[in-house]
Structure 1
Amino acid sequence: FFGFGYVITATFLVAMARDASGGHSVEFLAWLITGVSAALSVYLWRFAVPRFGLAGVYAIGLLVEAVGLVLTVSLPSPYAPLVGGLMLGATFMMVTAYGLQIGRQLAPESPRRALAFMTAAFGIGQIVGPLVAGWLAERTGSYALPTLVAAVVLMICGIVVLAELRRINEALAR
């Protein structure tokens, strides 16, 4: 789900920035903001781990990214791709890093197998996401519907993690 949800914004951020009537400067700023926020994200999110736990921060990151996607299609141009880039950068690296840590900790008997499975599932999401989003964008003439679909998928993923938070935290404590 995460691979599917995140990749839609990552794939179409450039096109959304170009459509924002700001030309190359908005595209440049969107990627600059994405990169700077990504560089800081794992460092900054670590301060939330003592309070919410690794899985809690992971779920919060998924939900924050989903909100960022909704803002991407709700805000006026040229702000939409800039906010989309900020929210993508602020969450993507952390969710990836913490997700792999959680996977490794939940499968101590076979962490390599768990990471391989997670990587394969993520890759499938990265392939399917742009296909679905491209098809939806072509049919509707807009990136709004595919972006909202990605937001819903990320929200579902975050809600599943929150629903399983107690069990995950118990397993991580072992």
Structure 2
Amino acid sequence: MTALGLAAGPVVALGFTRFAYALLLPSMRTELDWSYAAAGGLNTANAVGYIIGAGSGAWWAKRFGAGRAFVWGMVISALALLGSGATGDFAALSVLRFVGGLSTAVTFVVGSALASRIHTGGRQQRSAALVAVYMAGVGIGVVLSGVAVPAALSALGASGWQTGWLLMGVLALLALIPAARAAKAVPAAPPAAAGQGRSGLGRMSWSFVWYVLFGAGYVSYMTFVIALLKDQGLGTWSTAAFFIVLGAASALATLLLWGRITGRLPGGASLALVSVVVLLGVLPVLLGDGLAAAMISAIVFGSAFMAGPTAVTVLARRMLPPHAWASGIAWLTVAFSVGQAVGPLVSGVLSDSDGGIAKGLWLSVILLALSAVAALAQRERPVIAAVAGSPEGARPAARK
């Protein structure tokens, strides 16, 4: 139940603040007369805030306590969502997206560390399953936004985008109740002993490369796929069905499948597998059109896109000493955010050129393929190498 309560964090941080923008983007472009580059730039503002929030997440947790940082990040995110429904000014929306990105990154990073600290009795499979429950919150958020936003657009037309933001802001405030209770139930982090040595982040260098490429590839699709489906002739409720199926596939696969897979595959194998499945999920809407292609894409892509954070969090927990989990997850999320900042902007520029949105989305395919290659270079080394804190301690683990 604790992991499920913490999952309210990803519901708000990614399900609402980041991914629901794809549902609102077509109406916002029409009403506010934006180019695709401007639309991508707004998501980049969110991602820049996310970078700063991810990089400072461990500091906020240390300064105010992990539970408080987690909950207050959600509060600020909810206020940013409400504010986004109160203005049509591009500069103001950019600031709100930036603030929302920063606060949700703190929530997501600190929440990931909290989920990693839930007592498991030392069982690795149990730990992976709890992290998967936490990450499943993203899919739940996608489903909720897939219902709330289209309802607002259907009732009010293109101008309903403001009501869509407001509805998600209200839902985010309600999500604070289970999140705050769960945060209080997580045991405190063990203090870092003087002899624990280095964090061992350098041994995960290929995971950082993978996360940058994966973040850029998957978020370009998530930002512009609804606009592509609209161009292909799908209506409001057809695109809503796509989004709901995508979110449901994410929640179910993360809960039932990826927790087991990421707990068993060594090194970067799980990261590479995630990249390949997500890549395959992008292809149907690029190679075909219509509702059938959209649903295939939703199921395949949705089943794996949030397995990336699950897989890398589980890998970090295995490769890093406990005192480095929060900072390790934070810096990995920074890498993720860098990719998410660059991807939509470049994809938006490509979408404004000849070839349209499809041309921009082919960038996702290329980046995801490169991320799979980078993941295969990651080797897993036992956490003892990081705890030892010396070259002599690291060499035996490196040979395993």
Q: Return the TM-score normalized by structure 1.
A: 0.85
2:228 alignment partner in structure 1: 16
2:214 alignment partner in structure 1: 2
Alpha-carbon contact 2:284-2:294 (below 8 Å) kept = no
What is the letter of the counterpart of residue 3 of structure 1? G
Distance 1:37 1:110, change over 3 A: same
Q: How does 1:83-162 map to 2 (within 5 A)?
A: 83-108=296-321, 110-162=324-376
Return the alpha-carbon distance in structure 2 between the equivalents of residues 75 and 136 of structure 1.
20
Distance 1:171 1:159, change over 3 A: farther
1:72 aligns with 2:285: yes
Per-residue CA deviations over 1:52-86 (Å, capped at 9, x if unaligned) read 44742331111111121122201232333323322
Alpha-carbon contact 1:21-1:78 (below 8 Å) kept = no
What is the letter of the counterpart of residue 26 of structure 1? S
Alpha-carbon contact 1:13-1:84 (below 8 Å) kept = no
2:393 alignment partner in structure 1: none
> SS state of the match for residue 140, structure 1?
coil
Per-residue CA deviations over 1:86-106 (Å, capped at 9, x if unaligned) read 223111221111112213333
What is the letter of the counterpart of residue 156 of structure 1? L
Deviates more, 1:138-147 or 1:91-100: 138-147
Return the alpha-carbon distance in structure 2 between the equivalents of residues 90 and 172 of structure 1.
30
Return the alpha-carbon distance in structure 2 between the equivalents of residues 133 and 171 of structure 1.
38
Identity of aligned residues (%): 26
Return the alpha-carbon distance in structure 2 between the equivalents of residues 4 and 22 of structure 1.
26
> SS state of the match for residue 289, structure 2?
coil
Deviation at 1:139, TM superposition (A): 0.8
Q: Return the TM-score normalized by structure 2.
A: 0.39
What is the letter of the counterpart of residue 351 of structure 2? A
Deviation at 1:41, TM superposition (A): 1.5
Deviates more, 1:19-28 or 1:52-61: 52-61
Distance 1:15 1:116, change over 3 A: same
Return the alpha-carbon distance in structure 2 between the equivalents of residues 23 and 80 of structure 1.
15
Unaligned runs of 5+ in 1: none
Distance 1:51 1:6, change over 3 A: same
Distance 1:172 1:33, change over 3 A: farther
Return the alpha-carbon distance in structure 1 between the equivalents of residues 268 and 357 of structure 2.
31
> SS state of the match for residue 143, structure 1?
helix
Alpha-carbon contact 2:272-2:372 (below 8 Å) kept = yes
Distance 1:24 1:54, change over 3 A: farther
> SS state of the match for residue 22, structure 1?
coil
Bigger Rg over Cα: 2
Distance 1:36 1:145, change over 3 A: same
Per-residue CA deviations over 1:5-55 (Å, capped at 9, x if unaligned) read 110111112112212212113201110111110111112223445764474
> SS state of the match for residue 110, structure 1?
helix
Q: How many residues are treated as equivalent by the alignment?
A: 171
Per-residue CA deviations over 1:106-146 (Å, capped at 9, x if unaligned) read 33262222211111111121111110000000012422222
Alpha-carbon contact 2:280-2:301 (below 8 Å) kept = no
Distance 1:121 1:39, change over 3 A: same
Alpha-carbon contact 2:262-2:311 (below 8 Å) kept = no
> SS state of the match for residue 236, structure 2?
helix
Alpha-carbon contact 2:262-2:314 (below 8 Å) kept = no
Deviates more, 1:53-62 or 1:129-138: 53-62
Return the alpha-carbon distance in structure 2 between the equivalents of residues 151 and 104 of structure 1.
29
> SS state of the match for residue 134, structure 1?
helix
> SS state of the match for residue 356, structure 2?
coil
Distance 1:89 1:128, change over 3 A: same
